[in-house]
Amino acid sequence: MNEQDVDRRLSELLARPSSPPDPAFVDRVLLAARIEQQFRAARRRSLRRALVDCGAAIAVGATFYFMSQMSGAVADGVILPGGPAMAGLVMLLLWGAVALPISRDRGLGRAT
Amino acid sequence: MLARRAAAGELAAFAELVRVHEPRLRALLRRLAGDVGDDLAQETFVAAWRAAATWRGESSYFTWLARIGWRQFLSHQRRQRKTEPLDEAAQLPVEPQDERRAAIEQAMARLPERERMAALLCFASGHSHSEAAMIMDVPLGTLKSLVARARQRLVATLEDAQ
């Protein structure tokens, strides 16, 4: 017997009839795939949230930095561009920009 | 095409691919890994779903799945720290029809895992050497050596059985 004949003989001996699909196995795989999909979506949301939180922390830190740079007395009713009132306003705006989209995502802004 | 739709994240298309390929993949992994073959097949499909977007159509979908399955098997072996041949009882999920088949199935169970996979792909599944090399991620020459060694051992078993 040459090599091709040997291979053919081995193929015959090792061949198995194909089995029909197993619906239970398919269901298990699809359940695992759905869980995987949901897990990925949750991970993406967590990452986005972490980035937003980092942005907020940086904003607060920057505000305090501006405030620490403030010097000298300011007359009543005067808002200096680099003064504490402006820093507070900036912080408030940043907080709004950061926090409001999160509230919308979580459905907190919706009427119940 | 189902594979492209699955690559785009369509779960229904992936479900159809699982239905089409699971009997063959499970049969391959059961014969490769014994009792854990079904678990490996499930892990393979989940890994395929996770990596669905990376499918480029360079090979058939089954070849791609078999490649993932082979990697799953290797990492399972590493986790189990098992290097010895599989338990023969666990390796024989179906009843052989005659003595020769029984002998060759037992010889398959005794083969080292790389030779067993090469023999399964080239003899039992009908893959070409180049496809088998792609699945096992080895150079073509290495695959041919694995097949030659497996052939030698299986032929010796057949001669003993006669």
pLDDT classification of B135: cutoffs 50, 70, 90: very high
Residue A90: predicted pLDDT: 80
- Does B158 sit within 8 Å of A9, measured CB to CB? yes
Least reliable range by pLDDT among A1-10, B95-104, B111-120: B95-104
Going by the DSSP 8-state scheme, the letter that residue B125 receives in this structure is S
Q: Give the mean pLDDT of B36-50.
A: 94
B19 to chain A, closest Cα gap in Å: 6
Topology of the domain covering B1-83: Rna Polymerase Sigma Factor; Chain: A (1.10.1740)
ipTM over 0.85: no
Give A42 or A61, the one with higher predicted confidence. A42
Residue B147: predicted pLDDT: 94
A17 to chain B, closest Cα gap in Å: 10
What's the CA gap between A53 and B155, in Å, rounded?
Answer: 66
What would the CATH number be for the domain defined by B88-162?
1.10.10.10
Residue B132: predicted pLDDT: 95
- Does B100 sit within 8 Å of A11, measured CB to CB? no
Picking from B22, B27, B123, the nearest residue to A10 by CB comes out as B123
Domain ranges of chain A: 22-105
A57 touches chain B (CB under 8 A): no
B14 touches chain A (CB under 8 A): yes
| pTM of structure | 0.72
Residue A110: predicted pLDDT: 47
> How close are the terminal C-alpha atoms of chain B, in Å?
48
CATH 1.10.1740.10 in chain B is located at 1-83
B126 touches chain A (CB under 8 A): yes
Residue numbers in A near B124 (CB within 8 A): 11, 14-16
Give Cα separations from B52 to B4, B8, B65, B78 (angstroms). Answer: 9, 8, 10, 25
CB count in 10 Å sphere of residue B144: 16
What's the CA gap between A87 and A60, in Å, rounded?
Answer: 10
pLDDT at B10 over 70: yes
Q: Per residue in B45-101, pLDDT tens? A: 999 999 988 888 888 999 999 999 999 999 998 888 655 555 544 444 545 557 778
pLDDT at B141 over 90: yes
Average of per-residue pLDDT values in chain B: 87
Instruction: Check: CB of residue B51 under 8 Å from CB of residue A36.
Output: no
Residue A111: predicted pLDDT: 44
Going by the DSSP 8-state scheme, the letter that residue B34 receives in this structure is G
- Does A10 sit within 8 Å of B151, measured CB to CB? yes
Averaging pLDDT over each range in A32-36, A55-59, A79-83, which range is the top one?
A: A32-36
